[in-house]
Structure 1
Amino acid sequence: MSANSPGLLIIERILRDRGSIWQQIVDERDLNRLSGQMLASSAVALAIYGAVLGFFNGPLMALTSAIKLPLLFLVTLAICLPTLYLFNLVFGARLSVKQAVALVMVAITVTAMLAVAFAPIALFFLITAPDYGFFKLLNVTILALSAIVGLRFLTSGMQVLHSHGLLSPARTPEPEPALVAVATPTPTETLPAEEKKPAVVGAPAANGDGATAPAAVPAAAPPPPVLVARSDERVWDPAQQRYKVARPTGVATERPASMTLLYIWILLFGFVGTQLAWTLRPFFGNPDSPFALFREIEGNFYAEIIRTIANL
């Protein structure tokens, strides 16, 4: 079965043949269908994993977590995507909205599928070690590791787009170099000083016995000039008797501003996502508290994680 077969799941295509995914995004070909497949797959996977999180408190919490976890990722994407797209335009990138959405959806799909792959492990610890603090820390670690792998796919995709010139401003074509005549040097033999005598073309030479020596061979005409492109980087290599292109050494390739911005945007995406998760809590449901669809907004996500680690 080929990577583009309709029977192949989108996550299998991303993992097995990600090159075709990047090329499809570069060509901006059928991105609506691709993004729709990734959206559906990631929503289902996140809903399954959210249900596992909520089962710690009961079926009702499992149902609400199955709704809130996909909502968490999609709302975070809706908040942060305009920043990524507009700042890329400011720095000269030529990404379209569809390309930006498809790139980020690849990262979310990989994150969601890795998270649902960890669901049996989380369910195992839920059954065998139902400790609220440990279960919460375990699942936060699973989601963090899955997100790191997913965002790694995002950076790989942006690097592919950079290699195709989509993260740099369009360049005006440079004029073709003019052709100039360059004389081709010819190697000469080194003779002793006493043998370097001018040859007389066509004149007979007499030896010591008075015999006439054969006429000297006419000297070869110099080779015609060669037309080459004028370039400051072409230099003559006397060792190899040919022109070579001199490449500058010690010049590092600069990272485009769009790639630097991407890493900043990833940090922003993480901060927005964690704060939104704190706003949409509970996902696990504290067994010491009654069921609630939302909690009061107090503290922050990072303070809660530090407090949970201290109480283990």
Structure 2
Amino acid sequence: MQTSGRTGHKYFGTLINLLRDRQIFLEEIRQGIKLPSKIFSLLICSSIFLAIYGGIIGASHSWMQALASSVKLPVLYLMTLIICLPTLYFANIIFGSKRSLGQYFALVLTAVSITSVLLFSFAPIALFFIITTNNYQFQILFNVIIFGFTGFMGISSLYKASNIVLEQEGEGLETRRKIIRAWLFLYAFVGSQLGWTLRPFFGNPGSTFQMFRQLHGEEGNFYLSVVKSLIYLLGFR
């Protein structure tokens, strides 16, 4: 039990160091200090927080949906990272970056971890609205706002972090900053569409449990579906 407690303290201690002493944490990433340990700890902590939030929003439908969502939400963020990371890495390498793939991986994981902490902080509020309202469209839009806000904060922190980790790399620095800004839009776009592909995370109260929902026509597009939900909630049919 003591060994397990020390291990848990180590993992969460890494996350706390990121939140409390971000400048020092990012400087260690820039120098390549204990990268495997940092990566593994951030993966564990962010996955736990994301799983908790996923389980809460899935509980609005059934225990099976809660279990499925607790798995799919961490998978969503990890898959988005894996899909987009090669673009960030090789685009920067072409323009002179000397950082390793592990450093870029750890850098993006800091943003995922911050996002997961923010989602975890919103978990009680999400649970409150699940208990007090049965409006499915409201639940979708409310959580789109939460995911949008936490994602924006995570992306903002990533941009600031990249300026610290990638500084002092000589020529091409300004070009790489432009690449990062463009990549952040790509990351957000891929993440939102992938999240729509992996749905449902809630599950329609009037339907049976589904691990994944079939996509066809405009239902396969996240942005069109959000507009439709907003129109419906405003009373237009």
TM-score exceeds 0.5: yes
Q: CA deviation at 1:16?
A: 1.1
Helix, strand or coil: the match of 1:9?
helix
Match of 1:60 in 2: 64
Aligned length: 222
Match of 2:206 in 1: 288
Q: Contact 2:69/2:201 (CA < 8 Å) preserved in 1?
A: yes
Q: How far, CA to CA, are the matches of 1:310 and 1:12 in structure 2?
A: 41
Q: Contact 1:50/1:68 (CA < 8 Å) preserved in 2?
A: yes
Q: How far, CA to CA, are the matches of 2:229 and 2:41 in structure 1?
A: 37
Match of 2:130 in 1: 126
Q: Contact 1:11/1:113 (CA < 8 Å) preserved in 2?
A: no
Q: How far, CA to CA, are the matches of 2:23 and 2:33 in structure 1?
A: 14
Match of 1:45 in 2: 49
Helix, strand or coil: the match of 1:94?
coil
Q: Percent identity?
A: 38
**Which structure has the highest helix share of the two?**
2
Does residue 1:267 correspond to 2:185, yes or no? yes
The aligned runs of 1:14-163 (5 Å cut-off) are 14-163=18-167
Letter of the 2:200 counterpart: P
Q: CA deviation at 1:297?
A: 1.3
Match of 2:4 in 1: none
Distance 1:7 1:140, change over 3 A: closer
Helix, strand or coil: the match of 1:290?
coil
User: Which whole-Å deviations, capped at 9, do the CAs of 1:18-48 have from their partners, x for residues lacking one?
Assistant: 1111111111011000010000000000000
Does residue 1:304 correspond to 2:225, yes or no? yes
Distance 1:296 1:96, change over 3 A: same
Q: Contact 2:30/2:166 (CA < 8 Å) preserved in 1?
A: no
Q: How far, CA to CA, are the matches of 1:6 and 1:40 in structure 2?
A: 11
Q: From 249, 257, 261, give the equivalent of 2:175.
A: 257
Q: How far, CA to CA, are the matches of 2:49 and 2:29 in structure 1?
A: 23
Q: Contact 2:96/2:171 (CA < 8 Å) preserved in 1?
A: yes
Letter of the 2:26 counterpart: W
Q: How far, CA to CA, are the matches of 2:117 and 2:111 in structure 1?
A: 10
Match of 1:208 in 2: none
Q: Contact 1:94/1:169 (CA < 8 Å) preserved in 2?
A: no
Q: Contact 2:11/2:41 (CA < 8 Å) preserved in 1?
A: no
Unaligned runs of 5+ in 1: 171-254
Letter of the 1:28 counterpart: G
Q: Which runs of 4+ in 1 moved over 3 A?
A: 5-8
Distance 1:169 1:94, change over 3 A: farther
Distance 1:144 1:128, change over 3 A: same
User: Which whole-Å deviations, capped at 9, do the CAs of 1:164-185 have from their partners, x for residues lacking one?
Assistant: x13x349xxxxxxxxxxxxxxx
Match of 2:14 in 1: 10
Q: Between 33-42 and 125-134, report the one with greater CA deviation.
A: 125-134
User: Which whole-Å deviations, capped at 9, do the CAs of 1:279-304 have from their partners, x for residues lacking one?
Assistant: 11111101122211111112210111
CA-atom RMSD, angstroms?
A: 1.6
Q: Contact 1:48/1:66 (CA < 8 Å) preserved in 2?
A: yes
**Which structure has the highest strand share of the two?**
1
Q: Contact 1:46/1:115 (CA < 8 Å) preserved in 2?
A: yes
Tell me the TM-score normalized by structure 2. 0.89
Q: From 176, 197, 205, give the equivalent of 1:279.
A: 197
Q: How far, CA to CA, are the matches of 1:110 and 1:149 in structure 2?
A: 8
Q: Contact 2:155/2:184 (CA < 8 Å) preserved in 1?
A: yes
- Bigger Rg, which one: 1
Letter of the 2:149 counterpart: L
Distance 1:7 1:45, change over 3 A: closer
Distance 1:35 1:7, change over 3 A: closer
Distance 1:277 1:23, change over 3 A: same
Letter of the 1:36 counterpart: F
